[in-house]
Amino acid sequence: MRTECQSCSFNFGIKCPDGYTKVTNGSIGVRDCRYTFEVRSYSLSLPGCRHICRKTYLQPQCCPGHWGPDCMECPGGASSPCSGRGSCAEGMGGNGSCSCQKGFGGTACETCADDNLFGPSCSAVCGCVHGVCNSGIAGNGTCECHSAYTGPHCDKPIPECAALLCPEHSRCSPSSEDETKLECKCLPNYKGDGKFCEPINPCLQNICHPHAHCTYLGPNRHSCTCQEGYRGDGHVCLPVDPCQTNFGNCPTKSTVCIYDGPGQSHCECKKHYHNFKPGVGCSVTDICASNNPCHRNAHCTTIAPGQTKCTCRRGYVGDGSTCYGNIMERLRELNTEPRGTWQGRLTSFISLLDKAYAWPLSNLGPFTVLLPTDEGLRGLSNARTS
């Protein structure tokens, strides 16, 4: 982009808008434009200068294994997304979900997709006919038979069990010490000596994720539910970042979403904005009202967040941060400026101009005037006397 065209003399102090860098060589910029200078009842088109500004745009990206605007870790961790058994919807536009390979399931692909599958690849099928299979990724497919059945697949009945009369929650099976003998053993997920069996509560074994609630539903039955502020299947629970979805409902033009913790966030105003209102956003800060950077003889306009435009009033010329009026007015300013370089040193020549050239110097122009100081006039007068 290019800055507004104006007098080359005043162009050295021009700044580029926020986020832009001046690339023009030299202090005055490029002489490739014309600007309009208004003097009283007419306008002049004069050659001017302007600067070239360039903006560098940054394109944020998540590192591998991360997703969403806040780049949260994928299920299973960034080093092994989806436990290495699937692909994560990663990147700034991803939702962090896992697409598991065939046979796997769970939030982080941490389980077999079916309770009847086992092995590291979840490709082997349990063959238990009348029993419970040691299934899952860490399972080996062995069968624990129901009462009155035996064999690797629990498919061989034991007629002799009818006479053993095992109590409730126990089963008749070959003895662990002597397979030719029968004994009563507690059913899977029960504990005891076979004569008295009580259900095992899996919730006491920390079977769920640390950020999940475990609910005991009966023998071999329980449920894992992620706590508030977390999401997942209960065995894997991930913190919910509200900013990851629709920017936490924060208006993106004027606010940013700040993650405070699992399930919690808030909206903050961006730089150069203030006065947040839920569902509406923030208002642009009027720099002209709070910290006017313009000259006293200039109009200030907030044209964009953090960006103002200073325009000298009619009859004045300058870049807005400095505005000069007609020559007579400027001379009086210099002569009365407290602790200024020319304070009290131009009185005599101003008096002379007031008598002879006040009207043209106040109403016409622009002019360039070379004038002597009071010391110079006295020196000239002394020289003539000599």
**Burial (CB count <10 Å: 0-12, 13-18, 19+), residue 307:** middle
- Tell me: pLDDT of 386 over 60: no
The overall average pLDDT reported for the chain is: 88
For the segment 149-199, what is each residue's pLDDT rounded down to a tens digit?
989 999 999 998 888 889 988 999 988 888 888 999 998 888 999 999 999
For residue 44, give the 3-state DSSP assignment.
strand
Largest CA distance in the chain: 150
For residues 12 and 379, give the distance between their C-alpha atoms in angstroms, rounded to a whole number.
36
Q: Across 230-325, where does the E strand assignment appear?
A: 230-232, 237-239, 255-261, 264-269, 273-277, 281-284, 298-304, 307-312, 317-318, 323-324
Using 50, 70 and 90 to split pLDDT, how confident is the model at 271?
very high
Asked whether the predicted pLDDT for residue 286 surpasses 60, the reply is: yes
Q: What is the pLDDT of residue 59?
A: 87
**Is this prediction's pTM over 0.75?**
no
Domain 204-239 maps to which CATH number in 2.10.25.10, 1.50.10.10, 3.40.190.80, 1.10.3720.10? 2.10.25.10
Residue 380: pLDDT band by 50, 70, 90 thresholds? low
Q: What is the pLDDT of residue 41?
A: 67
Task: Give percent of the chain above pLDDT 70.
Answer: 96
pLDDT of residue 40: 61
CA atoms of 201 and 300, how far apart (whole Å): 74
Tell me the per-residue pLDDT of 310-363, one tens digit each, with 9 for 90 and over. 888 887 777 788 887 778 888 888 899 898 888 999 898 888 888 888 787 777
Kindly report, residue by residue over 28-43, the tens digit of the pLDDT: 889 999 988 776 667 7
Residue 178: its pLDDT value, please?
Answer: 86
Residue 229, Cβ density class (10 Å: 0-12 exposed, 13-18 middle, ≥19 buried): middle
- What is the CATH number that goes with domain 242-284? 2.10.25
pLDDT reported for residue 366:
65
What average pLDDT does range 224-247 have in this prediction? Answer: 94
The listed range with the strongest mean pLDDT (52-56, 77-81, 304-308) is: 77-81
Question: In this predicted structure, what is the pLDDT of residue 19?
Answer: 80
pLDDT higher than 90, residue 124: yes
Condensed to tens digits (0 to 9), the pLDDT of residues 199-226 reads 989 898 889 999 999 999 987 789 999 9
Residue 101 has pLDDT above 90, yes or no: yes
CB of 265 closer than 8 Å to CB of 242: yes
Which residues on neighbouring strands pair with residue 21, listed in sequence order?
Answer: 54
Chain centroid offset of residue 216 CA? 41
Portions of the chain given CATH number 2.10.25.10: 204-239
User: DSSP secondary structure string, 308-334?
Assistant: EEEEEPTT-EESSSSEE--HHHHHHHH
Q: Would you state the pLDDT for residue 374?
A: 85
